[in-house]
């Protein structure tokens, strides 16, 4: 588990805020968020953990933000953000204003919830999802570019090539979508 110092250098907690819809994010909140995403509890953040953290903050391009954050803050070049490097990462986060959460503390969506969400967008109830239905589903999940996400999901999940994601292909679509850290809340 990462142990964070009270405030990053040059960033007093009372004045450092990153604006989001619904109010500002304090440095202490950012620390807690990044701490929560140290999922393997090894005391450092991997690129994958950073991507999930940026996604929870509402970053439109969490993978890109994770790469940039790692490049900015990984001073020893080991590919991870350690406790000592976290201060630089927080400065980067505050500088670029990536905090866009709609509500505090979003909860990651489960595979079952994601599957139910996709099924709910089968508007004609034919047991399969068209590209347009997928686009609407990804838009409801908050995808930054839902049309592209739908095209990509369709190409990966459509095993029989009929241009639709059927119920038996839905697990592949869910597996694809789970990589992007969609949340509830």
Domain ranges in the chain are: 17-96, 107-184
**Angle (deg, nearest 10), helices 170-178 and 131-141:** 30
Q: Contact 121/45 with Cβ under 8 angstroms?
A: no
Mean pLDDT of 125-148: 91
Q: Contact 115/174 with Cβ under 8 angstroms?
A: yes
Given a cut of 50, is residue 182 above it in pLDDT? Answer: yes
Say which residue, 41 or 94, is predicted with more confidence.
Answer: 41
Given a cut of 80, is residue 27 above it in pLDDT? Answer: no
pLDDT of 15 reads: 33
Ranges 63-67, 93-97, 106-110, most confident: 63-67
Percent of the chain at pLDDT exceeding 90:
39
* Distance between CA atoms of residues 80 and 60, nearest Å: 22
Given a cut of 70, is residue 26 above it in pLDDT? Answer: no
H or E stretch at 88: helix 83-96
pLDDT of 166 reads: 95
Quick check: pTM over 0.85? no
- Where does residue 161 rank: exposed (0-12), middle (13-18), buried (19+ CB within 10 A)? exposed
Say which residue, 10 or 41, is predicted with more confidence.
Answer: 41
Which CATH class, in words, describes the domain spanning 107-184?
Answer: mainly alpha
For 17-96, CATH gives 1.10.238.10
Q: Residues 6 or more apart from 8 whose CB is under 8 A from it?
A: 16, 27, 86, 87, 88, 90, 91
Q: One fold for both 17-96 and 107-184?
A: yes
138-179 residue pLDDT tens: 988 888 889 999 999 999 999 999 999 999 999 999 999 888
> What average pLDDT does the structure give for the chain?
79
Neighbours of 88 (CB within 10 A): 17
């Amino acid at each position: 588990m990462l142990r964070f110092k009270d405030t990053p250098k040059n960033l007093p907690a009372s004045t450092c805020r990153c604006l989001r819809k619904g109010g500002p994010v304090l440095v202490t909140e950012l620390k807690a968020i990044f701490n929560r995403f140290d999922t393997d509890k090894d005391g450092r953040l991997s690129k994958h953990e950073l991507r999930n953290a940026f996604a929870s903050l509402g970053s439109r391009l969490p993978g890109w933000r994770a790469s940039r954050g790692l490049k900015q803050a990984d001073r020893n070049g080991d590919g991870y953000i350690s406790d000592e490097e976290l201060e630089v990462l927080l400065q980067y986060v505050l500088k670029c204003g990536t905090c866009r959460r709609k509500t505090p503390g979003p909860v990651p969506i489960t595979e079952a919830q994601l599957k139910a969400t996709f099924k709910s967008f089968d508007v004609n109830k034919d047991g399969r999802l068209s590209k347009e239905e997928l686009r609407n589903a990804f838009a409801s999940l908050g995808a930054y570019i839902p049309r592209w996400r739908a095209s990509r999901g369709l190409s990966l999940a459509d095993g029989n090539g009929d241009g639709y994601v059927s119920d038996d292909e839905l697990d592949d679509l869910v597996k694809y979508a789970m990589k992007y850290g969609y949340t509830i809340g």
